[in-house]
């Protein structure tokens, strides 16, 4: 089995987590092999968070300038630009989690996904 995660654009995080948990419980996949190697988990999480920021920014582009949107997330416009380009290497996972928590304050489905993930861990 591959050590890489396959990202599906047409599935919500909640559905993906539910699918992975169901497959784990049924024995269809082995929990320690269905995601990524432990040293890569933070990189995968940061990439997923970038994806959420990009999606949210596109949805709100008509309401905010980049500077205004960065302010909403409590980050600088330069940091937002890096995240929109998926250049997350300069940021810690803690920093990225703070950003996703800000997004979750305004997105109920995202908040539920984060809660499901926290309970699954």
Over range 85-97, report the average pLDDT. Answer: 90
pLDDT at 16 over 90: no
In a domain, 17, yes or no: no
In a domain, 77, yes or no: yes
pLDDT at 6 over 60: no
Write down the pLDDT at residue 24.
66
Write down the pLDDT at residue 13.
63
61-82 pLDDT tens trace: 899 999 999 999 999 999 999 9
Number of structural domains, the chain?
1
User: Residue 5: left if φ>0, alpha if ψ -120 to 50, beta else—which one?
Assistant: beta
Distance, C-alpha 77 to centroid of its chain: 20
pLDDT at 1 over 90: no
pLDDT at 26 over 90: no
In a domain, 58, yes or no: yes
In a domain, 2, yes or no: no
Higher pLDDT, 35 or 121: 121
Alpha-carbon distance of 100 to 103, in angstroms, equals 5
Alpha-carbon distance of 55 to 84, in angstroms, equals 9
In a domain, 16, yes or no: no
Mean pLDDT of the residues in the chain? 78
Domain of residue 88, residue span: 37-120
Alpha-carbon distance of 96 to 92, in angstroms, equals 6
- End-to-end alpha carbon distance in the chain: 22
pLDDT at 35 over 70: no
């Amino acid at each position: 089995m591959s050590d890489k995660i396959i990202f599906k654009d047409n599935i919500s995080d909640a559905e993906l987590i539910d699918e992975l948990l169901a497959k784990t419980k049924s024995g269809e996949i082995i929990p320690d092999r269905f995601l990524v190697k432990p040293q890569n988990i933070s990189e995968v999480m940061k990439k997923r968070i970038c994806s959420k920021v990009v999606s949210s920014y596109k949805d709100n582009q008509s309401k905010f300038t980049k500077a205004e949107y960065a302010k909403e997330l409590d980050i600088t416009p330069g940091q937002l630009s890096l995240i929109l380009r998926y250049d997350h290497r300069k940021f810690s996972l803690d920093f990225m989690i703070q950003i996703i928590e800000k997004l979750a304050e305004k997105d109920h489905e995202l908040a539920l996904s984060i809660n499901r993930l926290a309970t699954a861990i």
